[in-house]
A and B are shown apart, each in its own frame.
Chain A
Amino acid sequence: MASDKVMAMRDAVARFVHDGDTVVIEGFTHLICFAAGHEIIRQGRRDLTLARLTPDLIYDQMIAAGCARKLVFSWAGNPGVGSLHAFRRAIEGRRAEAALEIEEYSHFGMVARFAAGAARLPFWPLRNYMGTDLPRANPRIKTVTCPYTGEALATVPALNPSVTIVHAQRADAAGNTQMWGLVGVQKEAAFASQRVIVVVEELVPEEVIRSDPNRTVIPSMIVSAVVVEPWGAHPSYAQGYYDRDNDFYVAWENVSRDPDHLKRYLDDFVYGVPDRAAYLAKQPQVTRLKAKERWCAGVNYGY
């Protein structure tokens, strides 16, 4: 029964990502699900509110492809390289017709929004933003008075996405999902979301999950679909599976700076392929990114 959840990316996106949705593809540098972003572009989704701490290359591509109505974020750049030029073109010297709406926080603010969403609280308090222009730029940053100390604390509103897409190293067929390395804010984003698509490097038997329950980050009960998509996070990385394709990140600076070049990229690598397998067939360099082995020390769960 539970294995009804295992499906192709095409089907998962068709069923669970709709025009107008608030979509979160999370992952801090690590485990960013480019495979899902590409499929959303291919299926021509429109009017999406894209939310994510670091929009990264995948949201730059989705903005360029016309999927986004609004971006909710805290750091919009090409990490370690430079700019997201499709994003910048949509914002700089903004004309009425260009309108990509933005809603901007700091990382802590975005993390707090997901934490509130995951706990189903309407807001989250944080000690922040005094002496900054961020609350002027974003009136959704407010304050609350502590009932014990009388102190004013900043607040951010809960973020409850329509759908969150999490890439992970492994899950079972029901969607019990394990991640390691940088785990960012994925747990909070998933629990905050109405629907969750889990995309994994490996589908594993339930017994593997059960052998190490403290490693489980997302439980099956909140998962709508499980997609098995090896290398699905390329050009980002998956700890224990493959390294970051830094050359791609560096090359993106020139690709995204030129709208025609960016369009050619989308034509070749997104619209021009039917699925992730075809994309990978065009990326022979990935074999040299395969991870070396650095296994953890085990722990005993017996009693």
Chain B
Amino acid sequence: MSAVLSAILPVLAAVALMLVNGVVLIYMLRKVLGHLHLRLGPMHVGPKGIVQTTADVLKLLSKEDITPNGVDRWMYVLAPVVVFVPSLMAYAAIPFSETLRITRLDTGLLYTFAVLSLVPLGVIMAGWASANKYSLIGALRAAAQQVAYEVPLLLSVIPVVMIVGSLDLGEIVAFQTGVWMGVVPRWFIIPLLPSFAIFLISALCELNQTPFDMSEAESELVAGFATEYSSMKFGLIFLSEFSNSFVISALAVTLFFGGWTLPFVPEEILTPIAPLIFVLKTYIGIFVFMWIRGTLPRVRIDQLMNLGWKWLIPASLAWIMLVGVVVKLTAPGGVS
């Protein structure tokens, strides 16, 4: 019994985490964007509009599920599932604290990126299947954009793996605990700032967020690939977009900002509140994504490709070579 239970429990935990996360993030997005633009955001439903997201979910559930004619039936229905499931699977390897983790994977990093690269597949299916010119253009843009930015995203992470020597997210965080020269925390953001910059830019592309929200560019393609979707199918796509931003922000915190550790906090206070610190840091990361979303205009699709292929990839390759040389020099026998 316990074997079955211990198998199902993490999955349920992941699903619950994702739903709660979606609800909180949608509310946070509307509030943050609102206050960024001198507005209040939702205020009517519940105190300070807290119940607004549940009202949205209920609305989405109760809406009529329209399937326009001339639509490629099976692909149209399957697409939201292909978009939703990978972002659910991506929760598996995220280390909330030393012990609290859905699964202990020693190739956690590789697994997360592999799963995340499935999402554009669903986007293309959705765009193509809904036989609407706007979604066709949006889907093809999404395909070009996400394929182009998978490469720099992975390349920007390689220096971290080179220094730590393992793909296991837990060990990466363990490597970053403690302090250099007594004052500087051992986070990777300080030595590897360029790779964090490249990671941030290509992460924004992965998430289809401004300034790279090409696939559902409101002012050009109405709602891009998700134009023809209604009720819960749209809900799935919408929810997966938010859980992706949580996963990417969690990765950024794990790789560059020292996961659940804080530099000057002694051990015994840290462990009980470690998941809380981790989630707090992730939400600060998501806030920065929303801050960027509220400010910057959109890049044109060909400039985006230009930036990706001609700038980010060569820069990250050069950076990897540099870090490789430094790692080899400083710790000749170091890489165990």
Partners in one complex: no
Listed in ascending order, the chain B residues whose CB lies under 8 Å from chain A are none
Listed in ascending order, the chain A residues whose CB lies under 8 Å from chain B are none
